[in-house]
Amino acid sequence: MDTPADRSFDVEDYLRLDLFPHFLCPGCGHGIALRALLWAIHELDIDKNRLAFVSGIGCSGRLSAYIDADTFHVTHGRPLAFASGLKLARPEMNVIVITGDGDCLAIGGNHLIHACRRNLDITCLMLNNEVYGMTGGQGSPTTSVNRYTTTTPLGNHEPAFDACELAAAAGAGLVGREVTMQVPTMKDLIKQGISHPGFSFIEIISDCTEIYGRKNDLGSSAEMVLSQKKDILPTYIDVAEVNAVDQPFRPGSWQTGVLAKNDRQEYYKAYLDYCKQANPPGHGETHGR
Amino acid sequence: MSKPRQNLQGNRACALGAIAAGCRFYAGYPITPSSEIAESMASELPRVGGVFIQMEDEIASMGAVIGASMGGAKAMTATSGPGFSLKQENLGYAAGAEVPCVIINVMRGGPSTGMPTRPAQGEVMQARWGTHSDHPIIVLTPASVREVFDQTVRAFNLSERYRVPVVVLVDEVVGHLIETVALPDSDEVETTSRKWADGAREDFKPYEIPEDGIPVMARPGQGYRSHTTGLTHDATGFPTQEPGQVEQVMTRLLTKLDQHRDDIEQAETLHTEDAEVLVIGFGIVGRAALSAVNQARDLGIRAGMLRPITLWPFPERTLRSIAANTAAVVVAEMNAGQLCLEVERLCPDTVAVIPLNRIDGEPIEPRQILAAIEAAAGSMTNSKPTSTKQL
């Protein structure tokens, strides 16, 4: 165990401090999400040496480098594909994907829906700031209607994806959403996602103050986060009772908490069962080494 | 006792070679004419404790292969023309982050969707330069069913040894060819695995360069907690843009295969010691060349053959030493003229480089090559041979 024996949470125990200061802009919500993620890992008491993070390209993609674990910063949109291979080669590892709205829903959209369908035990944390921040503030699949970005200079005319509805419809094992205002709740949601034996999709409503907020007069980071909280509708459904992919969604607001849960068989377990047909008992090797 | 012989298809031999080499992860997407490789892996891998996964697309297949390899598995994918194009970005990641992996491209006619069931050799240059920017890569080209098996094994060994993606270009004709072969027993197949880090975590730098130029890998879960990225990185594995460091790491990456070329390069030669006319062709064209050269010898023409098995890095020294004593080189290939550019680059000005191309979806026949040899030999007595390019 490389995890500290003292059980009080110190985020620095989980960071590569020699890489600091980090590159995030002042007011960015991604750091809050990272803290909640590491807090969740701490509370779950997961050995750092059993943790692999896979991230794509964009502001979210750079977060993996700051985590003291096995970290993989891969190609744009493909972290779920890389993570699927990694998890199947090292099933004993906890594999967590950190991605963004452009990485996950635009260029990586196909991988997301099939990761949901397969239900391989990966936790996918999508940081949604409604914009391509790294490339200078272009519109993304989650940019709200009428918002200004460098590629929607007249106000966005495209509808935005509801990523959670998409993930739930595609069959993800667990789907949830939280805003950065509510860090303990976010931590608890991420804990549920990591603990769920299957594919979990968690959307964090982050804020891009410097680029998106500035261009749309959304105020300071604090004001952006407060307005996000104002817009949420927390769900108080009993998780144990939920086994559906068609939870009702109310438009015009962010529904937060666990939004869908689906206890289908996990992909790798299903694959091992499938392989038993090729390997009668007592024959063949054990996979995973 | 002689080994049992079997009728085996080239694509299936590829899958059996991969299993023999230790491949335990396959991710792929259906595409003609490579699909039998995926189908064979789908039935073989569950028997040996491996993972077969059909991904949602070609890009995901390549990503999953790299992910599995980063996790420690020997991993492979197979595809054809359009799929090979789609894999290029992630293939570049494997080259840059130095993740071993094997990519089979059973070549079909193109461009675009082209002719899915017809043979061609249009990816000579794409296999070398398909992903963006400078990068190291190894490309192998088998010519028979048995050689598909052997070169697939070799692809894994080279990939593991040098931490580089290895592409195997299989002709559609060879992939679908059924030949009677005897395969080696599994204990007769020589296999290599990459070097894993085993020292103290504090001293470990994932891209620190040992004498052989090939860094050792950290296996996830072993406590090294290292970082892997497609960004240009220094010895620590973290991104750098410092010009001095970038130049150093790029130079090492781009030259890391140079000191191992004796191990990497492979070619078959025939009658090259006194050849006036040399025929160069790879894959199935090499077999047509072999036949044509033998026929030419029967006619009294001093013909020879060079069949590159390693296409990239091209067996430069082999060609240079032969070309020094030859008058003409016929480069036969099932494309509009790609390999001939490399041959022209390597041959002295005194050598006439004659392209012989076929782009109609049919393999080059021995008689075409023989005609080119005769024309080259005939014109040698008169003047410099002229091109027989058939477009």
Q: Among A55, A86, A268, which would you mutate to test the B interface (most chain B Cβ atoms within 10 Å of its Cβ)?
A: A86
Q: What is the pLDDT of residue B380?
A: 77
Among B148, B164, B188, residue at a domain's last position: B188
What is the average pLDDT across A23-52?
97
Nearest CB neighbour to B75, from listed A16, A85, A285: A85
**Mean predicted confidence (pLDDT) in B112-124:** 97
Residues B174 and B30 in one domain: yes
Question: Is the per-residue pLDDT at B108 higher than 50?
Answer: yes
Tokens of A259: 């939004």
Is B384 within 8 Å of B353 (Cβ atoms)? no
Mean pLDDT value across residues B57-75: 98
Query: B275 and B176 in one domain?
Result: no
Determine the average pLDDT of the residues in A82-88.
98
What six digits make up the tokens of B346? 């390597």
**Residue B227 clears pLDDT 80, i.e. is over it:** yes
Distance from CA of B345 to the nearest CA of A (A): 35
Q: Which domain holds residue B290?
A: 268-379
B67 vs A271: CB contact, 8 Å cut-off?
no
| B208 within a domain of the structure (yes/no) | no
Q: What is the CATH number of the domain that holds B53?
A: 3.40.50.970
Q: Is any Cβ of chain A less than 8 angstroms from the Cβ of B64? A: yes
Averaged confidence pLDDT in chain B: 95
Confidence check: pLDDT of A284 > 80: no
Q: Which domains does chain A show, CATH number per domain?
A: 27-236+250-278 (3.40.50.970)
- Span B180-206, mean pLDDT? 94
Instruction: Identify the residue with better confidence: A50 or B389.
Output: A50
For residues B158-176, give the mean pLDDT.
98
Mean pLDDT of chain A: 90
CA–CA distance, B174 with A14 (Å, rounded to integer): 52
Task: Determine the pLDDT at residue A247.
Answer: 41
- In B75-199, beta strands by DSSP E: 75-79, 101-107, 138-140, 165-171, 178-181
Do residues B282 and B311 touch, judged by C-beta distance below 8 A? yes
The length of chain B in residues reads 391
Q: Is the pLDDT of residue A248 over 60?
A: no
Question: Residue B371 — very low, low, confident or very high, per pLDDT cuts 50/70/90?
Answer: very high
The amino acid occupying position A222 is A
* A239: pLDDT strictly greater than 90: no
Parallel, antiparallel or unpaired: strands A200-205 and A122-128: parallel
Choose among A75, A86, A287: nearest Cβ to B90: A75
pLDDT at A286: 45
Asked whether the beta carbons of residue B48 and residue A277 sit closer than 8 angstroms, the reply is no
Task: Kindly state whether residue B222 falls inside one of the protein's structural domains.
Answer: no
More confident position, A214 or A240 = A214
Beta pairing partners, B167: B103, B139
Contact B103, B91 (CB under 8 A): yes
Q: Note whether A168 and A245 are within 8 A (CB).
A: yes
Query: CB distance from A82 to chain B under 8 Å?
Result: yes
pTM: 0.95
- Judgement on whether residues B127 and B276 belong to the same structural domain of the protein: no
Q: What does the alpha-carbon distance between residue B237 and residue B60 come to, in Å, rounded to a whole number?
A: 24
Q: How would you classify residue B87: left for phi > 0, otherwise alpha for psi between -120 and 50, otherwise beta? A: alpha
**Strand ranges in B118-205 using DSSP code E only, listed in sequence order:** 138-140, 165-171, 178-181
Among candidate residues B188, B215, B232, the one where a domain is terminated: B188
- Among candidate residues B316, B301, B314, B299, the one with its CA nearest the CA of residue B271: B301
Do both B39 and B177 map to the same domain?
A: yes
Mutate to test the interface with A, among B23, B58, B228 (most CBs of A within 10 A): B228
- Inside any domain, residue B128: yes
Q: In what order do the strands lie in the sheet with B328-333?
A: B267-270, B303-308, B277-280, B328-333, B352-357
Which of A70, A94, A283 to mutate against chain B (most B CBs within 10 Å)?
A70
Check whether residue B23 and residue B130 sit in a common domain: yes
Q: How confident is the model at residue A230 (pLDDT cuts 50, 70, 90)?
A: confident
Position A9 scores a pLDDT of 97
What is the reported pLDDT for A227? Answer: 87
Q: Is residue B17 domain-shared with residue B147, that is, in the same domain?
A: yes
Band (A251; pLDDT cuts 50, 70, 90):
very low
Determine the pLDDT at residue B102. 99
Q: Does A278 touch chain B (CB under 8 A)?
A: yes
Where does B112-266 show beta strands of DSSP type E? 138-140, 165-171, 178-181, 227-229
Q: What confidence tier does A241 reach under pLDDT thresholds 50, 70, 90?
A: very low
Give a yes or no: residue B387 inside a domain: no
Token representation of residue B155: 């692809």
Residue B86 lies in a domain: yes
Residue that terminates a domain, selected from B161, B188, B215: B188
The reported pLDDT for the residue numbered A282 is 53
- Tell me phi and psi for residue A233, to 5 degrees: -125, 95
Query: Do B174 and B291 have their domain in common?
Result: no
Q: Nearest to residue A4, comparing CAs of A32, A36, A46, A35?
A: A46
Model confidence over B326-342: pLDDT tens digits? 999 999 999 999 999 99
Give the end-to-end CA distance of chain A in Å, rounded to a whole number.
20
Q: Is residue B142 part of a domain?
A: yes
Report d(CA B225, CA B218) in Å as an integer. Answer: 8
Give the helix/strand (H/E) hosting B300. none
Residue B77 lies in a domain: yes
**What's the Cα-to-Cα distance from A158 to each of A216, A231, B142, B203, rounded to whole Å?**
16, 21, 51, 52
Write out the H or E segment, with its range, that includes residue A27.
none
Question: Distance between alpha carbon A284 and the CA centroid of its chain, in Å?
Answer: 37
Across the interface, whether the CB atoms of A111 and B60 are under 8 A apart is answered: yes
Q: Does B180 touch chain A (CB under 8 A)?
A: no
Lowest mean pLDDT among A78-82, A229-233, B95-99: A229-233
ipTM surpasses cut 0.90: yes
Using a CB-CB cut-off of 8 Å, the residues of chain B touching A93 are 71, 220-221
pLDDT (0 to 100) of residue A5: 57
Q: Per the structure, how many domains does chain B have?
A: 2
The answer to the question of residue B214 being in a domain is no
If asked whether residues B169 and B41 sit together in one domain, one would say: yes
CATH number at residue B304: 3.40.50.920
